[in-house]
Amino acid sequence: MLIVPEGYRQRLSVRETEKAIKFVKDAFQKNLVRNFGFERVSAPLFVLSGTGVNDDLNGVERPVAFDIASLGGAQAEIVHSLAKWKRLALKRYGFRSGEGIYTDMNAIRREDRCDNQHSIYVDQWDWEMVISREQRNVEFLKMAVTRIVAAIVNTLADTKAHFPSIDLVLKKKVTFVTAQEALDRYPELAPHERERALAKEYGTVFLMGIGGALSDGKPHDGRAPDYDDWTLNGDIIFYDEVLDDSIELSSMGVRVDASTLRRQLEIAGANDRVSYEYHRQVLSGELPLTIGGGIGQSRLCMLLLQKAHIGEVQVGLWDADSRLKCERAGINLL
């Protein structure tokens, strides 16, 4: 549902916004590399169908698929994310423990709803880092979250220095809350409303443990069973004053090892996936242990530039009614 903030005003013109979008993206990449030492790599827009490499999200979303004439009609599909591909790339390129990669990921998620924060076009920085067995723990996960949040807050400071009309304030301190704790605290609220309540109270939150069933028998949110360890993952969430709502900038986590993969596939009723090459390599221990995630590029720009709609920082397709309401409210959809 479209949110039209009362009294919304543009802090930047369309041309200034375009300049600011580039600035934010350039600055964030520098801050991310400074905090982690990641190397940039090239990434695919599409992968072959039936290999298990594409992100299955909640297991029901249909990828955009097409056949390739030069490969004898082989089927390919636009990526949903690079959650699994990155782990394969780390092995193939010979990265070692403590080393990592990041890349620009562009995707189409045809099933996604379109509203202030969502569109069917996804652009994010995907990153992945090789870790040791000893680093598969909550403390290491929290360390990675803290560094990413620091990169975001530092990028905001850089942006405000170049665009003085931006007056956003973000909290660098992260409050860590498990999905079960959120349910216990707000049993009467739906999952997104719990996120909004936490973000409004704390400003910057990492909501941990997403994918597995909680005490009410339901997961906080869907997660594919074959990349994140549901006990060692979560979402980085900020409070968005413009929309008076929470905004998720990153989904991330420690990746599954062999035992976690078996358990989560069993829970999800997806044991058929063990026949895929990617899953066989995880089960056999051929792939490195990793931590990784995605950081939304357009959402970061939307938050830092104090925009009311993601269409103000990316070109998308919107229904006629939303376009009309945005025009009347001074929301400039690109």
- Give SS3 for 57: coil
Selecting among 251, 297, 298, 314, the annotated active-site residue is 251
The one-letter amino acid at 160? K
Q: Which of 123, 228, 245, 248 is catalytic?
A: 248
- Rounded CA separation 174/146 (Å): 7
16 annotated active-site: no
Choosing from 109, 136, 194, 273, which is the catalytic residue? Answer: 109
Q: Chain-centre distance of CA 229, in angstroms?
A: 15
CA–CA gap between residue 31 and residue 35 (Å, rounded): 6
Burial level of 258, CB count in 10 A (0-12/13-18/19+)?
Answer: middle
Instruction: Please check whether residue 54 is in contact with residue 80, taking contact to mean a CB–CB distance below 8 angstroms.
Output: yes
Told to judge if 49 belongs to the known catalytic residues of this protein, a careful annotator would answer no
Does 55 participate in catalysis according to the annotation?
A: yes
- The C-alpha torsion from 137 through 138 and 143 to 146, rounded to 10°, is 150
Sign of CA dihedral 115, 120, 126, 132: positive
Query: Catalytic: which of 56, 128, 235, 245?
Result: 235
Catalytic residue among 29, 55, 123, 314: 55
Q: Return the residue matching tokens 């895929």.
A: 276
Assess whether 248 carries a catalytic annotation. yes
Going by C-alpha positions, the residue among 227, 141, 213, 152 that lies closest to residue 183 is 213
What are the beta bridge partners of residue 105?
A: 124
Q: Which of 117, 119, 124, 264 is catalytic?
A: 124
**Rounded distance between C-alpha atoms, residue 64 and residue 57, angstroms:** 14
Can 251 be counted among the known catalytic residues? Answer: yes
The 10 Å CB-count burial string (b at 16+, else e) for 47-74 is bebeebbbbbbeeeeebeeeeeeeeeee
240 is catalytic: no
Please give the positions annotated as active site: 55, 109, 124, 235, 248, 251
